[in-house]
A and B are shown apart, each in its own frame.
Chain A
Amino acid sequence: MSGRPKESRISRTAATALMVLLALYFLLPLYFLIVAATKPQADLVSTFGLWFSHFDLVGNLRTLLAQRDGIFGRWALNSVIYAVVGAAIGTLISALCGYALAKFRFRGRNFLFSVILGGVLVPGTALALPLFLLFSATGIVDTYLAVLLPSVVSPFGVYLARIFANAAVPDELIESARLDGAGEFRTFFSVSFRLMTPSLVTVFLFQFVGIWNNFFLPLVMLQRESLFPITLGLYEWNGQASRASLLQGSVITGSLVSIVPLIIVFILLQRFWRTGLAAGSIK
């Protein structure tokens, strides 16, 4: 490269220009949302969308939280419950299973792992309707459990946990714990789980985002508004906003509120994302 400084300067400029354009494409809608969330309802239509008018984010947040007896707060809480409980239980069972698949030798191990890999390819939306049929036969439709129970299962989590257990827990350590007379569960929780913790954060994050962003499963399962997660609640409001335009401001502010926690988590925990995606790419 050093022999052709001129060409490399041109390609450097072209590369940067292209990336700046793409970065604009990815960030502009988010910027628009931030600007819109600060505007009074009337200004949404009457002022230019990419610049601020009367800055009233606090007022909009108040309207959002007071809307329909404060149901938005309930939705936010529900999203947190579904995502935190689902991802916490999911990470624990994925860790146990992935660890066993990585470290124990038993018949059928490879078969079970290929069943899990098959599960990675099955999208959640494909399961939602059959699950609904099944749950309505057993009567758990329209309860917290209807969303929580299926959310706990993450074949991708097991896949990651198996890779991480192989990478982070040396066999010798397990052997010496066994020689000391520790049972397998004690070894797992006192030695292996600790070694796997950083990578289990990755498993937790992926599952957390998956549940937080889930829409089709709650849509199919839930009737009562009081059980909705944010995604489903805002979808319903958005449908009504075309008739009652006063809701429009709350849909916009609510959308912003629903993505801010995730964006902060993303930026703070970047390294964990990259671990997971790298593992996904090795395969």
Chain B
Amino acid sequence: MTTHPAREGRRLRGGGPRGGTVVAFLTPFFLPFALFYLVPVGYALWQSFRVIRRTGGQFGHAYTTFGGFDQYAQVFRNSEFGASLGRVALFGIVQVPVMLFVALIMALLLDTPLLRIKSFFRIAAFMPYAVPGVIAAIMWSFLYSPQLSPIVDLLNGIGLRPDFLGPGAVLWSAANISTWLWTGYNMLIMFSALQSIPQELYEAAKIDGASNWAVAWRIKVPIIAPSIILTTVFSIIGTLQLYAEPAVLRQISSNISSTFTPNMLAYAVASGNNYQQAAAISVTIAVITFVLSFGFMKLTAKRAGL
């Protein structure tokens, strides 16, 4: 973006547009992108290195100054941060593989001749994507509530006494909401990838008598590996950002604290006007997210020999 328009113009090959025109096409996007993506990131970084100090004793004036890594040291000393990170880690280690496995099975089944009314199954699975996360959480919280839920009624009827909002269960109740919301979306990404594989690729295998399962696991899954990696990365990112589902469940369950997930902690700290600490928490979550998603991509790229 720093290139000089006039010089840029001469560099273009063929009868392409002048540099000024290129800039005019790009600016309407890149200006707000810079303002609302890049600048906030920079501002958060800057804030996270500031601390509030006071002149003199308790009644002195407050002022902000450079504090080095003080805010970050405080993030890592905060046991609530560790606890919230532990919760989303446990959530992610179980929920992400379960969801993506179900999505993969559905995509593979929809790609075989074994099923009829495929478009119905496809729409049914994708329907939750039309539901905002908050609304999905509200809906499921009715299905978890002992007073309202027909599911609790039915389970009570057969002698089970489920407590979806209990201290041990509530994390998994939140995980179920995420699974419900995103399985169909992930399934459709994998399914679209399957549809773009040319049929000839399996014909040879089928003539050799390979079963549908063998074709699925040995040929189809390796080919759509990039899509599976992509959905995994998006799921990891989503898990670390978890907010809406537990925040809604918190409205009906005392087993979710205001610092249940890292994002809830950041929000709670910001609500207490400690913006510098909130910024340090946000930056830490972002760094962890980047390390994990890029780490996962590098790891799988090596394994897959890509």
Chain A positions within 8 Å of B, measured between CB atoms, are 1, 3, 8, 11-12, 15-16, 18-19, 22-23, 25-27, 29-30, 32-33, 36, 44-45, 48-50, 92-94, 96-97, 99-101, 104-108, 112, 116, 119, 121-123, 125-127, 129-134, 149-150, 152-153, 155, 158, 175, 178-179, 183-185, 188, 209, 212-216, 219-220, 230-232, 234-235, 238-239, 242, 251-252, 255, 258-259, 262-263, 265-267, 270, 273-274, 277-278, 280-283
Contacts and interface: CB of A to CB of B under 8 A. Distances in A.
Interface in B254-297: 263, 266-267, 270, 275, 278-279, 282, 285-286, 289-290, 293
A234 B150 CA distance: 22
Interface string B227-239: 1001001000110
A267 B130 CA distance: 10
Interface stretch (B65-73, B81-89, B141-149): B141-149
A18 B105 CA distance: 10
B25 A238 contact: no
Contacts of A150: 36
Contacts of A129: 44, 266-267, 270, 278-279, 282
B63 interface: no
11 contacts: A93-B28, A96-B29, A100-B25, A122-B286, A125-B241, A149-B35, A215-B132, A215-B243, A220-B270, A235-B247, A255-B139
B109 A278 contact: no
B22 A104 contact: yes
B102 interface: yes
A11 B212 contact: yes
Interface residues of B, number: 108
A267 to B, nearest CB: 7
A175 B278 contact: no
Nearest to B247: A235
A108 B3 contact: yes
A278 B193 CA distance: 6
Given A209-B130, A231-B135, A234-B135, A97 B29 contact: yes
A165 B131 CA distance: 30
A185 B8 CA distance: 18
B142 A32 contact: yes
B115 interface: yes
Interface in B14-62: 14-17, 19, 21-22, 24-26, 28-30, 32-33, 35-37, 39-41, 43-44, 47
A234 B134 contact: yes
Nearest to B275: A133
B162 to A, nearest CB: 14
Nearest to A136: B275
B138 A251 contact: yes
B206 interface: yes
A215 B149 contact: no
Given A26-B127, A130-B279, A235 B134 contact: yes
Q: Which 6 A-B pairs have the closest CB atoms?
A: A49-B150, A130-B44, A130-B40, A100-B25, A97-B29, A213-B132
A281 to B, nearest CB: 4
B130 A94 contact: no
B229 to A, nearest CB: 9
Contact of A184 (B3, B25, B140, B275): B25
B80 interface: no
A97 B30 contact: yes
A32 B143 contact: yes
Interface in B74-117: 102, 105-106, 109, 112-116
Given A235-B134, A277-B185, 20 more contacts: A1-B212, A11-B212, A15-B112, A32-B142, A36-B148, A45-B148, A50-B150, A106-B11, A107-B11, A126-B282, A130-B43, A133-B40, A149-B36, A155-B37, A209-B129, A216-B244, A219-B267, A266-B127, A277-B192, A283-B226
Contacts of A3: 209
A269 to B, nearest CB: 11
Contacts of A15: 109, 112, 114-115
Given A129-B279, A280-B189, A121 B237 contact: yes
Contacts of B233: 121
A220 B230 contact: no
Contacts of B227: 281, 283
A45 B149 CA distance: 8
A126 B289 contact: yes
A13 B42 CA distance: 56
Contacts of A16: 114-116
Contact of A234 (B125, B138, B252, B290): B138
Nearest to B224: A281
A20 to B, nearest CB: 8
A231 B26 contact: no
A282 B8 CA distance: 32
A149 B124 contact: no
A270 B120 CA distance: 12
A32 B123 contact: no
B17 A273 contact: no
B117 to A, nearest CB: 9
B8 A273 contact: no
Contacts of B128: 26, 30
A167 B190 CA distance: 21
A230 B106 CA distance: 32
